[in-house]
């Protein structure tokens, strides 16, 4: 509880990996690229 939770996606994708890997790797994606608010260009 020493670190604030600013990136909820990191816990799902893995420690140190975060959202970028989740978008890059479809096998362990948390949020579909077309619906990802931080990577709108990934869909197309």
Output the pLDDT for position 43: 45
Which carries the bigger pLDDT value, residue 18 or residue 38?
Answer: 38
The DSSP string of the chain is: --S--S-HHHHHH-TTTHHHHHHH-GGG-SS-GGG-SS-GGGG-
pLDDT value at residue 44: 43
What is the model's pTM? 0.14
pLDDT tens column, 22-35: 555 555 556 565 66
């Amino acid at each position: 509880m020493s670190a604030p939770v600013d990136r909820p996606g990191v816990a799902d994708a893995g420690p140190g990996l975060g959202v970028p890997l989740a978008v890059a790797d479809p096998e362990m994606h948390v949020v579909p690229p077309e619906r990802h608010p931080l990577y709108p260009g990934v869909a197309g």
